[in-house]
Structure 1
Amino acid sequence: MDKKNKKFNVVIAGGGSTYTPGIVMMLLSNQDRFPLESLTLYDNDAERQAVLGEAIKILMHEQAPQIRYEYTVDPVVAFTGKDFCMAHIRVGKFAMREQDEKIPLRYGVVGQETCGPGGIAYGMRSITGMMEIIDYMDKYSPDGWILNYSNPASIVAEACRVMRPKARIINICDMPIATKTRMSYIVNKDPKDLDVRYFGLNHFGWWTSVTDELGNDLMPQIQDYVSKNGYLTPKAIEKQHMEPSWQATHRKAADLMEVDPRFLPNTYLKYYIFPDYVVEHSDPNYTRANEVMNGREKRIFGAARDIIAAGTAVNGGFEIDVHASFIVDLATAISYNTHEIMLCIVENKGAICNFDPTAMVEVPCVIGSRGAEPICQGYIPTFEKGMMEEQLAVERLVVEAYVEHSYQKLWQALTLSKTVPSATVAKKILDDLIVANKNYWPELH
């Protein structure tokens, strides 16, 4: 078949996720550039997936009956004959996220799902799930690509590098894309017209350049705005990141800029640079996990049940996840070798000249049929390099602890994290996390 007329077979791993309906809606809205032959949802929680799966079945029948659709808990069915696996898994679901956030807060330490102890705990769970998916794709669709946006992406990417170095996987995150969209509103431009340079680790980076389609430097205007307002913009651009906790995060970027005004910071840096502030403004009894469970979780599953009850998805409450369009951008660039530039998490290989060449860094990459090839970002300053070296060591110790079943190395990872004040506190948190994760982590010795 002529490549330009090809239709693609896609499996979404994490079919029971609250993000799945928005991704499906986004895929349907992009059939002109990424046409589907089939779409499969896969999850290991049959009961949870069935609610969304049945509602999406109604949606697919009404909007795209020509696309073969199914949902399954059988990996053979799910992963056989697939061109792409779009992975957004959450091992342990929101119940474990709640533990990730609340256990550190007991000890006055940042409780966040991808940063600090919570991110380490989540990473230890995610490694198992991601290796399983990689192995399924390797066995049943060896020529297919995995597009992974499961968190914590840096730990997952490092685990892939160490444990499955030949995997056809690209790790990507939507947060820089969401922030870039906010930047575009600040300068009244289309996000696609902004050309950015960026370096860092996932959820741990800085923009060094933003120009428009004509090459005009937009950094001074954006820096001036962010130094006063953070990334808060009058225009509401998304539902995902509009809750009060996210608004505070966007606002805090103004303080982050004071530490180094040369660059524009990733919002997640607040957890490392202002951990005391974060803890002070956290409710140990009601964290972001509770906010999501009482918000998006209820909204999406409520909409799904309403669709099933009504027998129609017309005005059913599912909405396109606009930020998930980056997944279509990525799949299209690979399929048609378009050489689009996107931020991805890849092995450094000199892209950051004065940083470990084997580190999994987040930088602009050229995307084509061979995957993601990093673009050189030059040398980085001492402050940012020092922070990244420390965080990279944490992530590598986590993966080593997982592979070696090492209590010692996981304790070292927590101790080294910039969010944790001492080895004593690190040990207390670790011991509590081990109990909470007894059904998910490898046994540590």
Structure 2
Amino acid sequence: MRLVVVGGGSTYTPELVDGFARLRDALPLDELVLVDPAAERLEVVGGVARRILARQGHPAKVTTTTDLDAAADGADAVLLQLRVGGQAARQQDETWPLECGCVGQETTGAGGLAKALRTVPVVLDIAERVRRAAPDAWIVDFTNPVGIVTRALLDAGHRAVGLCNVAIGLQRKFAALLGAAPAEVHLEHVGLNHLTWELGVRLGGPDGPDVLPALLAEHGEAVADDLRLPRGLLDRLGVVPSYYLRYFYAHDQVVDELRAGPSRAAAVADMERRLLRMYADPALDEKPALLAERGGAFYSEAAVDLVASLLGGRGGAVQVVNARNAGTLPFLPDDAVVEVQAAVDGTGVRPLPARPLDPLYAGLVAHVAAYEELALDAALRGGRERVFRALLAHPLVGQYGYADTLTDRLVAHNREHLAWA
């Protein structure tokens, strides 16, 4: 099995490689190809990847290259984990929206739109090159904003599925609180990427008892603290929102916090510098503890499970993915991309029936889904007016004065990445 990671020079990669080594029985990997335009950084990450595999006795070969076309040749699956513009662009995404009193964040609001505009054309170019070199390969997108990027790939006819680590992270946390094995915890995870709610937590499988009420009653404080939302709000909702819902449910509070403190982008950039120095140490042959602070927890387990199922090793597996709605949420178009439980096997992904969403959540989902459609249109066709329309449609912007100002600032900060600007 030949697996390609585009963005292989990412500091995330050792997390992924560690998962490949530990879960070798699920995913019998023969060759891992790391692709990245940053050759020097790629060699550093490639070196620690080889040492991690060797330490755990995994026989897979690790290849590093800046040549995507050569890398994709004969690939069974391609994982996308790239960041167009790097951490410098992320720093901008988190900063200039605050000047208008809007949240600055890399996957939602105005900053999330900027990332989508930079990312979608690059990902589509990569996908076309993969299709020419390996027409049967699956493309697994971990690149944010996952929902918009996955929709772009599917609309262009690619064999693609989106992956996020929010659901598996919650599954692992709930399992620890319940004293259960993670495999026994089944989430009723419904919504859009970074806009989801756990409507139920079932033990033993999709038809098992719903223990969410008991979980909230016994461990509500711990869950609320992790989400940075009030315990009382969770009790009133009776569900567990993704931590990204804090940008919606406590928007003004978050803006005040972001204005007062150092940005997450600055912290991550510093962390990346430290991680790369660690990776360069020829004695390092395991992922360092610092990597857990980088984000992407359990990404490797989710990726291994998904790729193994797509390539036929785990028929009938149920996993949370980003895929076509296809009637799952009846108030959205069938071609929208939703993040839900799905049956995954070698033929593709099939979303499972979902419990009807309360209007409290369905309204926000419909609102953000409409924004995502406009955002994708702006990413594909460009133009100031399309950017303005997307921003005006976003519930975290919504006012024409803000949308106008943010459009100007988005274009000014991203001109080098926008072919039409």
| Structure 2: segments with no counterpart, 5+ residues | none
In structure 2, the partner of 1:267 is 243
Instruction: Give the drift of 1:59.
Output: 4.2
Instruction: Give the drift of 1:406.
Output: 2.5
Instruction: Give the drift of 1:285.
Output: 6.3
Instruction: Read off the aligned partner of 1:197 and give its amino acid letter.
Output: E
In structure 2, the partner of 1:376 is 353
Rounded to whole Å, the distance in 2 between the matches of 1:135 and 1:213 is 41
Instruction: Give the drift of 1:254.
Output: 3.3
Rounded to whole Å, the distance in 2 between the matches of 1:226 and 1:90 is 36
Rounded to whole Å, the distance in 1 between the matches of 2:334 and 2:3 is 33
Identify the range of structure 1 (345-354 vs 51-60) with the bigger mean alpha-carbon deviation: 51-60
Do structure 1's residue 206 and structure 2's residue 197 form an aligned pair?
yes
| Structure 1: segments with no counterpart, 5+ residues | 1-7, 233-246
Once the two structures are superposed, what CA deviation does each residue of 1:249-284 show, in whole Å capped at 9, x if it has no partner? x222636526x5132211111112221111011136
Contact 1:187 1:221 in 2 (8 A): no
Aligned residue for 2:183, secondary structure, equals: helix
Which of residues 396, 400, 410 is equivalent to 1:423? Answer: 400
Contact 2:69 2:130 in 1 (8 A): no
**Residues 253, 437 of structure 1: CA spacing in aligned structure 2 closer, same or farther, 3 A cutoff?**
farther
**Residues 283, 305 of structure 1: CA spacing in aligned structure 2 closer, same or farther, 3 A cutoff?**
farther
Once the two structures are superposed, what CA deviation does each residue of 1:60-105 show, in whole Å capped at 9, x if it has no partner? 4555573222100111221111111111111111110000000111
Which of residues 309, 313, 322 is equivalent to 2:284? Answer: 313
Once the two structures are superposed, what CA deviation does each residue of 1:31-72 show, in whole Å capped at 9, x if it has no partner? 222111111100122233232123334444555573222100
Instruction: Give the drift of 1:225.
Output: 4.6
Instruction: Read off the aligned partner of 1:440 and give its amino acid letter.
Output: H
Once the two structures are superposed, what CA deviation does each residue of 1:311-350 show, in whole Å capped at 9, x if it has no partner? x434674879644211111111122252110111111111
In structure 1, the partner of 2:61 is 68
Aligned residue for 2:332, secondary structure, equals: coil
Contact 2:48 2:285 in 1 (8 A): no
Do structure 1's residue 343 and structure 2's residue 336 form an aligned pair?
no
**Residues 216, 10 of structure 1: CA spacing in aligned structure 2 closer, same or farther, 3 A cutoff?**
same
Q: TM-score, normalised by structure 1?
A: 0.87
Identify the range of structure 1 (277-286 vs 393-402) with the bigger mean alpha-carbon deviation: 277-286
Once the two structures are superposed, what CA deviation does each residue of 1:348-367 show, in whole Å capped at 9, x if it has no partner? 11112333222111111000
Contact 1:355 1:385 in 2 (8 A): no
In structure 1, the partner of 2:99 is 106
Do structure 1's residue 398 and structure 2's residue 375 form an aligned pair?
yes
**Residues 442, 371 of structure 1: CA spacing in aligned structure 2 closer, same or farther, 3 A cutoff?**
same
Instruction: Give the drift of 1:289.
Output: 0.4
Pairing 1:351-366 to 2, within 5 Å after superposition: 351-366=328-343
In structure 2, the partner of 1:147 is 140
Superposition RMSD on alpha carbons, in Å? 2.2
Which of residues 331, 334, 346 is equivalent to 2:310? Answer: 334
Aligned residue for 1:437, secondary structure, equals: helix
Instruction: Read off the aligned partner of 1:194 and give its amino acid letter.
Output: V
Would you say how many aligned residue pairs link Structure 1 and Structure 2?
413
Do structure 1's residue 123 and structure 2's residue 116 form an aligned pair?
yes
In structure 2, the partner of 1:281 is 257
Instruction: Give the drift of 1:134.
Output: 1.1
Contact 1:256 1:270 in 2 (8 A): no
Which of residues 10, 15, 20 is equivalent to 2:8? Answer: 15
Rounded to whole Å, the distance in 1 between the matches of 2:150 and 2:218 is 33
Instruction: Read off the aligned partner of 1:152 and give its amino acid letter.
Output: P
Rounded to whole Å, the distance in 2 between the matches of 1:427 and 1:73 is 39
In structure 2, the partner of 1:48 is 41
Once the two structures are superposed, what CA deviation does each residue of 1:82-139 show, in whole Å capped at 9, x if it has no partner? 1111111111111100000001112221011111111111111110221122112201
In structure 1, the partner of 2:300 is 324
In structure 1, the partner of 2:176 is 185
Contact 2:140 2:160 in 1 (8 A): yes
In structure 1, the partner of 2:216 is 223
In structure 2, the partner of 1:435 is 412
**Residues 346, 59 of structure 1: CA spacing in aligned structure 2 closer, same or farther, 3 A cutoff?**
closer
Contact 2:118 2:379 in 1 (8 A): no
Which of residues 351, 363, 367 is equivalent to 1:386? Answer: 363
Instruction: Give the drift of 1:378.
Output: 4.1
In structure 1, the partner of 2:82 is 89
**Residues 421, 256 of structure 1: CA spacing in aligned structure 2 closer, same or farther, 3 A cutoff?**
farther
Rounded to whole Å, the distance in 1 between the matches of 2:399 and 2:245 is 20
